[in-house]
């Protein structure tokens, strides 16, 4: 790995709104960071913030960022010269900055705060025609709750150049919180595509917090001290190379395998990971275990970005109510299923009698029956089952009736029925996400600088941008698998040969699969085909299955279309974000040479 005289150290203290409060103090007190960054926003979060602002105009941001997180560290941050970048501004970054300034003033502090605005494009939708959802192809609805463009990193760099101690943004791509400081510190330009891709990868690896330091690792038994797990730090150099580490003395582990899992997390086509500042190619990225506390990363490549921003929008689509009961004893599964069906049948009859229309959707889930595994479920006769009945309806009063009736099942039908607590469920607004592309020229981005002045950030004209390739050259392992694969074969679960991590993008499920040994990549490519994966997830994935190879980390990335029942808040699944689909794939049984696995390769995967 190349070295330079200047190293910029960036720690991420939050992977989502709701992450632990220990991250920021841990990183600040470590003495190992120059920048503290936070990622708060997801599609569901934006909808929550939009609803909050409708009720109260000065809301719409992540309030605990101000009153809990920053209140606990702002004095140390300013004393140590640590800069802060956060998208906690949600749909109202100016209000977030104002609240942060008031809080700091109450402590006798005066941080220089800058704000990045312009991501809210909800006012433009009435002027748009023929806009369609990127995943479903459905027309963009006229009535929306929120619509925010994913902005890039250069406005953040502009704010830092103006002397900001803290930069508050609305919707940005998650990695921009890290890339912005690197652009500022190293003077990277808009056409430094390889460096911009490397900086974006650094941000991608830490944007989900502890997922880079042992969190969610396939071999979870090898990760010590979950209670005190370290939050991630990247140590970055001007040439784009960087290292992943964590605060000294914290729990978790810095492992090449875990960093590789996070590399594949939700990237889709690794040759064309599309961001507003750069189109990234991560296929040749190399990960090196330098020592117990550092993994080194090189090899990211970039090319020009596209002319559009992705816009994440939400709309109200009626109401949802979810109720649950616990069923105990023999034949618990059959009793629970009959209970759920009876609830729906009874309430449908009550709707008809009251002149109410039918449900928009219903779903019965039985926790404890491995319903997410489909035909691969083991079919064990569980004697305690949690029943979950989920229902959607255009009117809340219909679901209030449903909520009353689900409670009646406790004394009416199945023996062994009890409640997990929490009381009667309540209907809540059903928010559905959609996404589309919007020309960058239609999205004026403004940076409000610490002195109160503002700067307008302009995007390059479309004709000056080279359009990114859709996928580049499809790569495959150069060695499909050596000849000694012949001979006696045995069936083993895929987890014996690979690590995995999964996530979502709308209604797409992304499953990354990394070979435990480099020489096994060809075997995995030959055995774990798109057809095999499609068959394994036939009960969940309704669309095509794509497969991509990353030779740099001996990994395969699968993208399953129409796999999450709409995804996010729209989904009725118990796993709406596909977080468990990697674990389900690792249970796939494959046929391998009997002598392939030695004792070390079996480890904790028995």
Hey, what domains does the chain have and what are their CATH numbers?
Answer: 8-306+443-464 (no CATH), 319-433 (3.30.70), 483-602 (no CATH)
Three-state DSSP class for 31?
Answer: coil
Question: pLDDT value at position 1?
Answer: 41
Angle at 450 between CA 447 and CA 453, to 5 degrees: 60
Nearest of 223, 87, 92, 200 to residue 146 by alpha carbon: 92
Token digits of residue 506:
């709308």
Instruction: Kindly give, in sequence order, each residue whose CB lies less than 8 Å from that of residue 463, ignoring residues fewer than 6 positions away.
Output: none
Are 205 and 123 a contacting pair, CB within 8 Å?
A: no
Rounded to an integer, what distance in angstroms lies between the CA atom of residue 251 and that of residue 231? 9
Sign of the Cα torsion 501, 290, 27, 189 reads negative
Q: Quick one: DSSP state of residue 190? A: T
Question: pLDDT value at position 396?
Answer: 96
Following DSSP, what letter does each residue of 452-500 receive, concatenated? S-EEEE-PPPGGGSPPPPSS-SPP--SSS--GGG-S-EEEEEGGGTEEE
Helix axes 176-186, 154-161, angle to 10 degrees: 50
Residue 599 has pLDDT above 50, yes or no: no
- Give per-residue pLDDT as tens, 130-159: 788 887 788 888 778 889 999 999 999 999
Q: Which residues pair with 457 in a beta bridge?
A: 445
- Give per-residue pLDDT as tens, 64-113: 999 999 999 999 999 999 999 999 999 999 999 999 999 999 999 999 99
Question: pLDDT value at position 468?
Answer: 52
Please report which residue ranges of 66-172 form alpha helices under DSSP H.
71-80, 93-106, 154-161
């690197």: which residue's tokens? 182
Question: pLDDT value at position 17?
Answer: 92
Rounded to an integer, what distance in angstroms lies between the CA atom of residue 546 and that of residue 300? 22
- Give per-residue pLDDT as tens, 396-425: 999 999 999 998 888 899 999 998 877 889
CB burial class (10 A; 0-12, 13-18, 19+) of residue 394?
middle
- CA dihedral 281→284→288→293, nearest 10 degrees, is 10
Question: pLDDT value at position 473?
Answer: 58
């816009």: which residue's tokens? 311
Rounded to an integer, what distance in angstroms lies between the CA atom of residue 172 and that of residue 151? 4
- Give per-residue pLDDT as tens, 2-53: 445 899 999 999 999 999 999 999 999 999 999 999 999 987 788 788 778 8
Are 312 and 335 a contacting pair, CB within 8 Å?
A: no
Rounded to an integer, what distance in angstroms lies between the CA atom of residue 325 and that of residue 164? 52
Mean pLDDT, residues 277-292 taken together: 98
Token digits of residue 165:
């101690």
Token digits of residue 476:
């495959």
Mean pLDDT, residues 186-198 taken together: 97
**Position 598 confidence tier, pLDDT thresholds 50, 70, 90:** low
- Give per-residue pLDDT as tens, 293-351: 999 999 999 999 999 999 998 888 899 999 999 999 999 999 999 999 999 999 999 99
Indicate the pTM of the whole model: 0.93
């926003």: which residue's tokens? 41
How far is CA 134 from each of CA 352, 396, 434, 561, 579, rounded to the nearest angstrom? 37, 30, 8, 12, 21
């Amino acid at each position: 790995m190349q070295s330079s005289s200047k190293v910029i150290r960036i720690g991420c203290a939050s992977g989502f709104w709701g992450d632990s409060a220990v991250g920021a103090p841990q990183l600040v007190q470590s003495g190992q960071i120059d920048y503290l960054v936070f990622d708060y926003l997801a599609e569901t979060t934006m909808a929550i913030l939009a609803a909050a602002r409708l009720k109260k105009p000065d809301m719409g941001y992540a309030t605990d960022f101000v009153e809990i997180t920053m209140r606990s560290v702002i004095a140390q941050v300013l004393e140590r010269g640590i800069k802060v970048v956060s998208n906690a501004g949600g749909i109202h970054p100016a209000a977030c900055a104002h609240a942060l300034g008031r809080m700091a003033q109450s402590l006798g502090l005066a941080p220089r705060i800058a704000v990045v605005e312009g991501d809210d494009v909800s006012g433009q939708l009435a002027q748009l025609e023929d806009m369609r959802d990127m995943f479903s192809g459905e027309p963009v609805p006229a009535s929306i709750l929120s619509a925010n463009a994913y902005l890039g990193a250069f406005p953040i760099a502009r704010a830092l150049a103006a002397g900001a101690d803290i930069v508050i943004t609305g919707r940005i791509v998650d990695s921009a919180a890290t890339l912005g400081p690197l652009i500022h510190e190293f003077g990277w330009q808009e056409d430094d595509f390889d460096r911009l891709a490397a900086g974006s990868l650094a941000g991608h690896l830490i944007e989900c917090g502890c997922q880079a330091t042992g969190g969610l690792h396939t071999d979870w038994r090898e990760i010590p001290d979950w209670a005190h797990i370290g939050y991630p730090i990247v140590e970055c150099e001007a040439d784009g190379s960087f290292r992943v580490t964590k605060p000294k003395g914290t729990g978790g582990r810095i492992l090449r395998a875990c960093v590789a899992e996070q590399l594949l997390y939700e990237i889709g086509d690794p040759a064309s990971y599309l961001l507003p500042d750069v189109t990234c190619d991560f296929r040749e990225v190399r990960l090196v275990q330098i020592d117990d506390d550092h993994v080194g990363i090189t090899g990211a490549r970039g090319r020009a970005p596209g002319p559009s921003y992705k816009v994440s929008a939400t709309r109200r689509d009626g109401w949802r109510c979810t109720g649950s009961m616990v069923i105990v004893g023999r034949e618990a599964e059959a009793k629970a299923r009959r209970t759920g069906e009876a609830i729906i049948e009874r309430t449908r009859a009550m709707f008809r009698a009251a002149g109410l229309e039918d449900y928009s959707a219903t779903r019965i889930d039985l926790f404890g029956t491995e319903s997410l595994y489909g035909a691969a479920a083991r079919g064990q006769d569980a004697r305690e089952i949690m029943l979950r009945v989920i229902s959607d309806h255009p009117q809340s009063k219909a679901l209030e009736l449903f909520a009353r009736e689900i409670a009646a099942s406790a004394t009416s039908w199945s023996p062994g029925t009890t409640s997990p607590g929490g009381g009667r469920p309540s209907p809540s607004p059903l928010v559905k996400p959609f996404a589309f592309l919007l020309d960058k020229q239609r999205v004026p981005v403004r940076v409000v600088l610490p002195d109160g002045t503002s700067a307008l950030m302009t995007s390059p004209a479309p004709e000056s941008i080279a359009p990114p390739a859709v996928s580049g050259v499809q790569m495959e392992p150069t060695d499909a698998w050596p000849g000694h694969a012949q001979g006696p074969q045995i069936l083993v679960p895929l987890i014996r040969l690979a690590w995995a991590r999964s996530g979502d993008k709308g209604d797409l499920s992304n499953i990354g699969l990394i070979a435990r040994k480099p020489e096994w990549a060809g075997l995995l490519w030959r055995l774990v085909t798109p057809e095999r994966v499609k068959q394994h997830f036939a009960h969940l994935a309704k669309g095509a299955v794509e497969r991509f190879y990353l030779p740099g980390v001996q990994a395969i990335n699968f993208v399953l279309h129409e796999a999450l029942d709409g995804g996010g808040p729209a989904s009725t699944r118990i796993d709406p974000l596909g977080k468990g689909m990697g674990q389900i794939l690792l249970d796939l049984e494959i046929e391998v040479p009997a002598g392939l696995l030695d004792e070390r390769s079996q480890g904790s995967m028995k």
